[in-house]
Structure 1
């Protein structure tokens, strides 16, 4: 009776430790959602997986989980699949606790102390709590192994017990194939427990029922014509799943390293286990050494220590085989570690002569163990909340995202979204990467994925290179919700680093236009940016306008590092003017890397762009106050040196060093959208006069010249004269410079300024004609812009396909010729224009 009370107390102690905060710690692991969703699919649709079953695990484990979910109504009783699964793990743990006691006592020479100490280690182990609370196949596998051991330890071993033990061992293997590595220890235990004249028969029966049950797995694959290697299609991909192919892939996972090598998966997992809990592995090592000693000492009296030692050695051999080791693989060793210590203590206490002294020694050992656990490992399991952020992410998705959206997620969230809330296109991240059925959902193009629920597990897989398609989607997405409150993890997603899973973030994949902007920005940096921020074409020429456009692009991409680099290079090499702080416009670098300033004059159109970018930087980045000050200083010089008043109009000169009397004007510098923006940021200057007077001047220019030319001279008397003597032939005609004013006029028109209408009406036919002559990327893309906003009667979609996308290489992000800086900036600007116009006018990109 006292022993019964003791056992009940130990079970209650173990259950209380396991249950306290089991919904809060540890975080919900990827595999938990996998097995729960598969279990639910099995009992609701008879499928072994949510999608194609690929033999990655034997199915008995999630069949059992499915039976539990069916019994409890899925999420009906405990609130969610995840919580229901953890309740099941509590029941598994309680059953395992009782079995640990029984096995340790019977193998420990009948010592109650052996059973009690084993239970204390099993219950209090932080490593055990970390893994045994999770819905893992390893925990179910360990339970079936313990049942199989206990059946062989009956006082009177019967054939029924042998057969049943074999069946439970087979179930353990069908729960997780790793269980097979415990087999040799079972054979020794069965040999030890059988009578000499029955051993061969007992071994044969045990192997027959265990092996026969496992063989059913192969028969299932054979009947489905999925046992043998799959034939390959024309694309080199297998035409069906294959048991043998999957086993070969599983066996080959990871690079081979000897277990003692620094890069070995085993050593890295061992380090992870020791960080979580140094006590349990240490006790396990002590138990193994003690069992080895007992096996030698007791070889004629008992084979129990040897049998348990071989069970652990077989599984240790699996862990140390030199291939991939996942940290949860340690879970089935925790009860065996506890039993090993219990066995050793049980036999050692036989050396103590008095019962009272043995009891006292047992109490001291239990106290020492509990003290050791509490000192070595902080009691995180009882207090730390690692799941709230994950659950908040799921709730955010459920409340803010359309259920028809394609959401790729860590598997922990899959049951909650797909099976509890009807997100029909929620996808496992790994299956989404490799299952052809799921790839069809997003047309085998990651750009069609809508959202990613990014977690520790996804970041780990991305860093290891196992999900390159989803990594591409992640690199082209933006965060829309973040749940990291209270996390203990170090998170550096740019470097793919996460140290714990108690956080989650929701990312939205960018639309195709923004994807092109991002990729072409990356290729721009690769192909045209040198040193720490010099933009140059193939001839080594750098202009202030190219530097200004690069700053604008860096700002649009949120790339502060390159924005500062480009500005710093500009500041260091193009800002040598003694009269003002404006930017000299032309630099050349030779093949030897040496450079020189070719022209100290300014380009006012570039200066005004730089001013706007520097001011915007203050809104984009909190620590960019220094850049704003630079912009303000440039604005003061701009208004002194670049803004002229001629014939009653305030206009932007072509440069700060124009002639005193006559001024060379480049009409394309007129940018009403930019001026309106600066009017709000720098109200001390009359930017709106530049808008109003600019329209008056362009209207006059169109009326008198019949077009808006690339260049024009405005004389002291207010007359418009030819710019050809200064610029050269063609300066008075509509040309590439004129093209640059079109986006500015279209955007201002879209914003409601009707003054742009007449100007666009007069030059739009001329631009179409000009494109027919030159057939350039700049002219063709400009015609496409005009069609988009209805300035000409043409099919914008067809123009996009012929003039824009046909020139783009989506694989490397370059526009037609990688060496063409002009083409690259033209393509980037066309897509930037798409993000600025009304959504109704934007084209759905290919």
Structure 2
């Protein structure tokens, strides 16, 4: 039998033969175009029933109890310990330690990013990946808005409070995920947070602080007890953010791989490593891709480049000498670290060496060993803030080693070997008392210095002078260090006429705006950073030589001088 297909639009449902044909006589089509009319009709038929059931549905919904959020014991412990550390970290945060030129540079770069002026307040030459000060830009606006009249660097330090809190919390969580009990994790947090060296360095505006927070997050994610693949992908992404915050964290990536190996089931390790590598690559590729799209990946004439900056950092930068060479810059720097606190670095060094042979401590110990190995290489450049990346690993491995040793000593059966057990307990108590006796005086002195010293009083006075004299000479051209650069701009001086002293010699874009060279400068604010090595910067040396002191703040080598340049000098 031949079946004749009905034309579209006139087929009626079997049980609703009298339903109007859509479009046949001007009747509007129910529902969306192409919606079967019988579905619409069925929905219409069910509507009264749904309306009648609405009160019952609402009663049932109201009877559902939402789960109450209950903070875990670990969260309560972390919160309590952060309050303790905050009592040492927060007081006098702007007064100690003395502001450094690096702090001013990173804060000025963050300000330029906030203002949409680019990645830096001068030509960005790929000296560091920009993500570190972009994070600073995201949080530094709040303290700046609260206290717009204070010294910019001192006020900006409050932006580091949440970052340091995250580092301390992650140190605790990582210690727990390594298999240690709450008292051990709490000891690691307090050892890190109360060390005078930590208080001194973690108050300052350094990119290393952002980087170590992200590398700790990567280790925490790699050791997640859920062992979820997405946690391991996130670990790789967090490691990439750490590297893009400060490139030195690239050295610590093998430690993340070790943590991933330890934190996954044997049959799934390949998937976890591939996932973490994907997260690392997908995030990390943005930096070289940015340089490539700007045509600044490879060195060339008349432009900066990413590879050129790497070559400078690795090959052309003046080294700090060996840490073992008495009198070298690296040796003096290590001495300054130990001056603030010898306890954490020395205990951490012992913990790192032993931790390499203890499975639970291997990942943080490897991270610290690799970072320390870079610092100990002969002829390399050692920055003042380098130890920031080592301190959390020092705390974890030192406390973890004590925990492992104490548990092994107390593993003796107290019934069968009572003499040995009592002797071990006595040794542990004696060691604890000795540690307290040795640590307390050092830390008490360091903490007292941190909460009372006024090392930035001279910079505060210089910033006040800038605010007072801006209306007097609005068009004045000033050369200064980057600690005061943002203060001069905030005071109202023209941004193009506020010159970071390095740029007076090293930036052709700046020298092009000086028709008479250094004689186009009106004022120079002489600071310790500017006077450190005047021989390598001829124009800076010239403005210092051909200028007269107007006012001096402070005394000795740390003094700050406001100097008027003699533009007619020969």
Q: Same fold (TM over 0.5)?
A: yes
2:305 aligned with 1:249: no
Matches within 5 A, 1:377-416: 377=446, 379-400=448-469, 402-416=473-487
8 Å CA contact retained: 2:264, 2:272: yes
8 Å CA contact retained: 1:260, 1:267: yes
* CA distance 1:53–1:447, change in 2 (3 Å): same
Q: Which residue of 1 aligns with 2:545?
A: 475
Query: Is the partner of 1:227 in helix, strand or coil?
Result: coil
Deviation at 1:75? 3.5
Alignment RMSD (CA, Å): 2.7
Deviation at 1:76? 4.1
8 Å CA contact retained: 1:121, 1:369: no
Partner deviation per Cα, 1:194-229 (whole Å, 9 max, x = no partner)? 211222221122122213322211111111011111
Matches within 5 A, 1:375-454: 377=446, 379-400=448-469, 402-424=473-495, 425-443=497-515, 445-454=517-526
* CA distance 1:2–1:205, change in 2 (3 Å): closer
8 Å CA contact retained: 1:105, 1:342: no
Q: Which residue of 2 aligns with 1:235?
A: none
Deviation at 1:82? 2.5
* CA distance 1:56–1:79, change in 2 (3 Å): same
Deviation at 1:314? 1.2
2:394 aligned with 1:318: no
Choose the corresponding residue for 1:276, options 337, 340, 350: 340
2:384 aligned with 1:327: yes
8 Å CA contact retained: 2:365, 2:393: no
Matches within 5 A, 1:542-561: none
* CA distance 1:375–1:67, change in 2 (3 Å): closer
Larger radius of gyration: 1
Choose the corresponding residue for 1:342, options 376, 396, 399: 399
Query: Is the partner of 2:561 in helix, strand or coil?
Result: strand
Q: Which residue of 1 aligns with 2:350?
A: 286
Q: Which residue of 1 aligns with 2:211?
A: 141
Q: Which residue of 1 aligns with 2:361?
A: 305
2:220 aligned with 1:164: no
Paired with 2:278 and 2:516, the residues of 1 have a C-alpha distance of 46
2:95 aligned with 1:13: no
8 Å CA contact retained: 2:225, 2:263: no
Matches within 5 A, 1:337-736: 337-351=394-408, 352=410, 367=436, 371=440, 373-374=442-443, 377=446, 379-400=448-469, 402-424=473-495, 425-443=497-515, 445-462=517-534, 465-484=535-554, 491=556, 498=557, 503-512=559-568, 515-516=569-570
Deviation at 1:369? 7.0
Deviation at 1:40? 1.7
Deviation at 1:377? 4.1
Deviation at 1:22? 0.4
8 Å CA contact retained: 1:32, 1:412: yes
Which structure would you say has the larger RCO, counting Cα contacts within 8 Å and 6 or more residues apart? 2
8 Å CA contact retained: 1:40, 1:74: no
8 Å CA contact retained: 1:37, 1:419: no
Query: Is the partner of 2:488 in helix, strand or coil?
Result: helix
8 Å CA contact retained: 1:128, 1:334: yes
8 Å CA contact retained: 1:117, 1:365: no
Which structure dedicates a bigger proportion of its chain to strand?
Answer: 1
8 Å CA contact retained: 1:105, 1:346: no
8 Å CA contact retained: 1:410, 1:453: yes
Structure 2 unmatched ranges of 5 or more: 1-71, 415-424
8 Å CA contact retained: 2:319, 2:382: no
Q: Across the two proteins, how many residue pairs are aligned to each other?
A: 481
Paired with 1:273 and 1:6, the residues of 2 have a C-alpha distance of 29
8 Å CA contact retained: 1:58, 1:174: yes
Deviates more, 1:405-414 or 1:263-272: 263-272
2:73 aligned with 1:28: no
* CA distance 1:405–1:159, change in 2 (3 Å): same
8 Å CA contact retained: 1:476, 1:509: yes
Paired with 1:319 and 1:73, the residues of 2 have a C-alpha distance of 34
8 Å CA contact retained: 1:33, 1:415: yes
* CA distance 1:206–1:4, change in 2 (3 Å): closer
Paired with 2:545 and 2:202, the residues of 1 have a C-alpha distance of 35
Query: Is the partner of 1:452 in helix, strand or coil?
Result: strand
Query: Is the partner of 1:379 in helix, strand or coil?
Result: helix
TM-score, normalised via structure 2 length: 0.78
Paired with 1:163 and 1:79, the residues of 2 have a C-alpha distance of 44
Deviation at 1:484? 0.5
Q: Which residue of 2 aligns with 1:69?
A: 140
Query: Is the partner of 2:552 in helix, strand or coil?
Result: strand
* CA distance 1:209–1:126, change in 2 (3 Å): same
